[in-house]
Amino acid sequence: MPFTRCLPALLIVAWGFPQLLGAQPLSGDWYGNRTWIAEQGVTFDLDVAHFYQGVSSGGLNQHAKYGGHGDYVTNVDFGKLGLQEGLFLKVRAEHRFGENVNADTGALLPVAVLADLPVRGDEDLLLTNVLFTQALSEQFAVFFGKLDTLDGDPNAFAHGRGKTQFSNVGFVANPLALRTIPYSTLGCGFAVLGEEGTPLFTYTVLNPTDTASTAGFDELFAEGVAMSAELRLPTSFYGLPGHQLFAGTWSSRDYVSLGQDPRVVLPDVPINEADGSWSAYYNFDQYLFVDPCNEGRGWGLFGRAGVADQQANPLSWFLSFGLGGHNPMSGHGADTFGVGWFVAGSSDQIGPILETVLGPIEDGHGVELFYNWQATSWLNVTPDLQVVVPSRDNVDTALVLGVRAVMQL
């Protein structure tokens, strides 16, 4: 039974995100070799994202910085290679470079999360994905290996790894889950697939500590275990496509400090020991308009909500809402836009501990607007504006202006 039609969706199951499919990359077709290699079952998605952002008012420091992120993904279809039907391998190598203003806004949530990944302050090229996926049928697949989790909590209008849609982590994934689920670690799980291989339910068991810079075998489950489950159901309200996602995470790890996580800007201070942590969250996307000439283009609404354990998580609840999608104007169908608002509720248990270091702590708010312009087939340029109200009560509202440029190599 052929499973190759499931490949794009299985890449999402394996915490992957197809990058601007159909775009002609900067390096071209390698004299036809890139197409030939793809026909044999090996594809390359290579890109470099450049960020130039500045805090123009408020925040902790008012200046501009330049940095970026390189992302190099190889996907292998062993069925096309004639070795094993339904078996796929995904390898991701990534690195960061330069500087960014994530710590200059005074906010807990980074305004450009990708600029600090995979490890804050480290410019080494690291393997964050070496993941095997085996489709056992057209409705079921298992996966195992090292995986990065940035592509969890998928949403049609607010996702994209921080390089194709919003940049702020509050619109890339629900930040409540970041406490229990590390960015890159060893794990395994299974997925139940719907039509055309679209994931309906995924369940993942993970090592609870981040091992982006190591193989991870020496510390596998040494501090417990983490689990996540996501149910994402397609909808068709008023004849228009959408999704409803229900998910939860849990970790048995003992938390004794806030730790250093590149997806959240926090000092590494001790906290009262907490035995495990959890989060529960929801998101939706709903198209309000679909191009009658191209069903893959349209625009609509999105939203997120969630609650989390206050003993170990610096955030206790989260809400976001916004509008995004493709530009409906003629001649700009490849361009996308987004506008969103979020509020992150601070934990009543962790907040008083943070106040000893950062001063009074309240709830944090933020607004982001972007327009993603496809300048060429291999270059997308995205002006971005963010207004961030830090949870630190003694830090003024930060106005962040910037531009992101993503080059497909």
Structure tokens given for 377: 């087939």
Q: Find the CATH number of the domain harbouring 384.
A: 2.40.160.180
Do the strands 398-408 and 242-257 form a parallel or antiparallel pair, or are they unpaired? unpaired
Residue 330 has pLDDT above 60, yes or no: yes
The single residue listed with the structure tokens 């169908």 is 333
Q: Residue 8: enclosing H or E segment and its boundaries?
A: helix 7-13
Closest among 16, 141, 14 to 86, alpha carbons compared: 141
Closest among 409, 388, 386, 405 to 397, alpha carbons compared: 388
From residue 145, alpha-carbon distances to 84, 90, 186, 202 in Å are 17, 10, 6, 15
Q: State the pLDDT at residue 23.
A: 64
pLDDT above 70 covers what percent of the chain? Answer: 94
pLDDT tens digits along 254-290: 999 988 789 999 888 898 889 999 999 999 999 999 9
Contacting residues for 176 by C-beta, under 8 A, at least 6 apart:
279, 281, 306, 307, 308, 313, 315, 317, 318
Q: State the pLDDT at residue 328.
A: 84
Q: State the pLDDT at residue 198.
A: 86
Q: Which domain holds residue 29?
A: 4-408
Residue 3 has pLDDT above 70, yes or no: no
Count of domains forming the chain: 1
pLDDT band for 331, please (50, 70, 90 cuts). Answer: confident
User: Cα-atom radius of gyration of the chain, to the nearest Å?
Assistant: 20
Structure tokens given for 103: 């710590």
Q: Chain-wide mean pLDDT for the chain?
A: 92
pLDDT above 90 covers what percent of the chain? Answer: 85
Q: How far is CA 396 from the centre of its chain?
A: 28
Q: State the pLDDT at residue 260.
A: 78
pLDDT tens digits along 233-250: 999 999 999 999 999 999
323-330, long-range: CB within 8 Å, 24+ apart, which pairs?
323/157, 323/299, 324/157, 324/158, 324/165, 324/299, 324/300, 325/156, 325/157, 325/287, 325/289, 325/297, 325/298, 325/299, 325/300, 326/291, 326/297, 326/298, 326/299, 328/289, 328/291, 328/299
Contacting residues for 207 by C-beta, under 8 A, at least 6 apart:
182, 185, 186, 187, 216, 219, 220, 221, 225, 226
Contact 118, 212 (CB under 8 A): yes
Closest among 156, 64, 157 to 111, alpha carbons compared: 64
Residue 15 has pLDDT above 50, yes or no: no
Q: Residue 344: enclosing H or E segment and its boundaries?
A: strand 336-346
pTM: 0.92
Q: Is 83 helix (H, G, I), strand (E, B) or coil?
A: coil
